[in-house]
Amino acid sequence: MAAMLDETALSQALSGRRVLVTGHTGFKGGWLSLWLRRLGATVVGVALPPARQSFCTAVGIDRLIESRIGDIRTENTLREAIGGQDFDLVIHMAAQAIVRTSYEAPVDTYMTNVVGTAVVLEAARRMPSLGGVIVVTSDKCYENREWVWPYRERDPMGGRDPYSSSKGCAELVAAAYRASFFSAAGGPQLATVRAGNVIGGGDWGTDRLVADLARSAGSGVPARIRNPVNVRPWQHVLEPVRGYLMLGAALLDHGARFAGAWNFGPGADADVNVGRLADLAVSKWRGECPDYIIERQDGAPAESVVLRLDSTKARAELGWKPLLHLEEAVASTVDWYRAHRREPERIRAFSESQINDYAARWATGKDAAPAQEEKEVIATCA
Ligand SMILES: NC(=O)c1ccc[n+]([C@@H]2O[C@H](COP(=O)([O-])OP(=O)(O)OC[C@H]3O[C@@H](n4cnc5c(N)ncnc54)[C@H](O)[C@@H]3O)[C@@H](O)[C@H]2O)c1
């Protein structure tokens, strides 16, 4: 397949398509819905109600698309929410997405992330027009060996905490559904996607690093940062979202060749530890400086120390590659929170302008800027 090099090609593939997004009231689902709408797709979202402070509420996503409130944990509630509608593409993002919450509510995490995935796939396979399904899991689905090498799509599933293992389980559920129900020639195809630690405007989730800093900015209350040495593959939300859109278009246009698992990780420059990412974010904040303290919690739930993703397959077969250097991703994220603080009523236009700028960057064909030399970041903002 020729690489889909710009947004025009994406729009040609997705305009006029009916797309079901689960989790549209969440951070990534909100950005995905906004971009899908810009591409001319008809978007229906199913999720739990948005949090009072969320991307969905700030931008008004639930007024821009057809928003259905529904629970994916049982077939009846999902069926009621979908109301017998038919779709070309299903992008399943709804999840209990926080590692620490998964320690407090493991059964609910498995119900949402594993049973919920089966419930959504069951609904999908009854849609007459379906061409493709994308199940969003996580970089944490892999059996983590705590080694320096990036994980590839064929590495074994695992997960030592309930969230990570629920995402590994969701991958297994999707693989069984693919083999059992989504493998007919010319029939709908199923892919799973694994992205890194996503940053971007409008994430107010608990235990999310930049969200914690955003809450600290202007409040005088420092963010509490755990595990500053843990290395994560940080990336701007529009990077994996573009990958999901390219993959959705490829499933609809080319079918089985694009079924299977896909990593969408950042360039190697973005595999930095939590402490460095926090310093980088603070250095971009100008004006209302956030502050943080490092909180060492003895006996706190364990999280993996090193996690890297290999996205060679997405580069080679889909023509996807990361576009933003880590500094650009952080700057764009901080810009969003600052814009929201200054002019909350204009944040939808601002978010759309960020998609516009990102699409323009894509059209230039330029990669993420080459990794800069590791330099010390001074964690101050003017
Ligand atoms: N944010 C990240 O860094 C990251 C990284 C890798 C993978 N992911 C995955 O991406 C997806 C989206 O993550 P996010 O950061 O936007 O999460 P989020 O917490 O902001 O949003 C979660 C969404 O799922 C919905 N949801 C939760 N339980 C539900 C239920 N029982 N029924 C219906 N809807 C339900 C919520 O209403 C919300 O719309 C998730 O599958 C997550 O595991 C996120």
Report pLDDT for 232. 84
Average pLDDT, the chain: 91
- In this prediction, residue 288 has a pLDDT band, given cuts at 50, 70 and 90, of confident
* Of 77, 93, 197, best ligand 1 pocket probe by most atoms within 8 Å of the beta carbon: 93
Query: Cα(205) to centroid of ligand 1, in Å?
Result: 10
pLDDT above 70 (res 372): no
Q: Per the structure, how many domains does the chain have?
A: 1
Q: How far is CA 23 from the centre of its chain?
A: 11
- Given the CA of residue 112, which atom of ligand 1 is nearest to it? 31
pLDDT above 70 (res 300): no
- What does the pLDDT average to over 236-252? 97
- In this prediction, residue 377 has a pLDDT band, given cuts at 50, 70 and 90, of low
pLDDT above 70 (res 303): no
82-130 pLDDT, tens digit per residue, is 999 999 999 999 999 999 999 999 999 999 999 999 999 999 999 999 9
Query: Cα(23) to centroid of ligand 1, in Å?
Result: 6
- List beta partners, residue 1: none
Query: Cα(94) to centroid of ligand 1, in Å?
Result: 5
Q: How many other CB atoms sit within 10 Å of the CB of residue 292?
A: 20
- Contact call for residues 183 and 130 (beta carbons, < 8 A): no
pLDDT above 60 (res 315): yes
- Given the CA of residue 163, which atom of ligand 1 is nearest to it? 43
38-49 pLDDT, tens digit per residue, is 999 999 999 999
Report pLDDT for 262. 98
Report pLDDT for 155. 97
User: To 5 degrees, how large is the angle CA 56–CA 60–CA 63?
Assistant: 115
Query: Cα(1) to centroid of ligand 1, in Å?
Result: 31
* Residue 334 within any structural domain of the chain: yes
Count helices and strands (H / E) in the chain: 15, 12
Query: Cα(95) to centroid of ligand 1, in Å?
Result: 4
Q: How many other CB atoms sit within 10 Å of the CB of residue 82?
A: 22
What is the Cα–Cα distance from 133 to 178, expressed in whole angstroms? 10
Structure tokens at 323: 């576009």
- What does the pLDDT average to over 239-263? 97
Query: Cα(287) to centroid of ligand 1, in Å?
Result: 31
Report pLDDT for 374. 47
Report the CATH number at residue 233.
3.40.50.720
Lowest mean pLDDT among 140-154, 175-189, 276-290: 276-290
pLDDT above 50 (res 4): yes
- In this prediction, residue 23 has a pLDDT band, given cuts at 50, 70 and 90, of very high
* Residue 38 within any structural domain of the chain: yes
* Residue 233 within any structural domain of the chain: yes
Report pLDDT for 343. 96
- List beta partners, residue 293: 224
- List beta partners, residue 262: 193
* Residue 369 within any structural domain of the chain: no
Question: Which has the higher per-residue pLDDT, 220 or 75?
Answer: 75
181-216 pLDDT, tens digit per residue, is 999 989 999 999 999 899 999 999 888 888 889 888
- In this prediction, residue 380 has a pLDDT band, given cuts at 50, 70 and 90, of low
Question: Which has the higher per-residue pLDDT, 296 or 144?
Answer: 144
Query: Strand 66-69 vs strand 231-236: parallel, antiparallel, or unpaired?
Result: unpaired
pLDDT above 80 (res 287): no
Ligand 1 cavity residues, CB under 6 Å: 23, 25-29, 47-48, 71-73, 93-97, 112, 116, 136, 138-139, 195, 197-198, 205
Handedness of CA 204, 205, 208, 212 (dihedral sign): positive
- What does the pLDDT average to over 231-253? 95
pLDDT above 50 (res 298): yes
Report pLDDT for 121. 98
* Of 21, 22, 27, best ligand 1 pocket probe by most atoms within 8 Å of the beta carbon: 27
Report pLDDT for 348. 98
- In this prediction, residue 373 has a pLDDT band, given cuts at 50, 70 and 90, of very low
Backbone phi, psi, residue 87, to 5°: -135, 155
- What does the pLDDT average to over 61-82? 97
Report pLDDT for 290. 85
- Given the CA of residue 94, which atom of ligand 1 is nearest to it? 24
Type of residue at 196: G
Domain of 150 in residue numbering reads as: 8-363
